[in-house]
Amino acid sequence: MENTGVEAEQLKEHIAQSLQNIRPYLQIDGGDVELVEVMHDGIVKVRLTGACKECPMSMMTLRAGIERALMREIHQVRRVEAVVG
């Protein structure tokens, strides 16, 4: 998936907006998510913060919540990965 600079920026903005829609569900439990990077191959890197950072269910939240929602809405997204730090 080779994107031009404009297409890549539009994709990043679309992902950021989608994360805004997901964010209230995380914040209700004291967590949050930050967009770190959108890779050219459709991998989205995010940082889980707050309660999500240390939660034992964070991988389930990442896969069943964040990844599923992004992939359903944005067909270019192939996977979501959490970064630490």
Q: Where exactly are the structural domains of the chain?
A: 5-82
Nearest in space to 45 (alpha carbons), one of 73, 21, 70: 70
Architecture of the domain delimited by 5-82: 2-Layer Sandwich (3.30)
What pLDDT was estimated at residue 3? 56
Q: What is the mean pLDDT of each run of 10 residues along the chain (85 residues)?
A: 76 97 95 96 96 93 96 96 90
- The model's pTM is 0.89
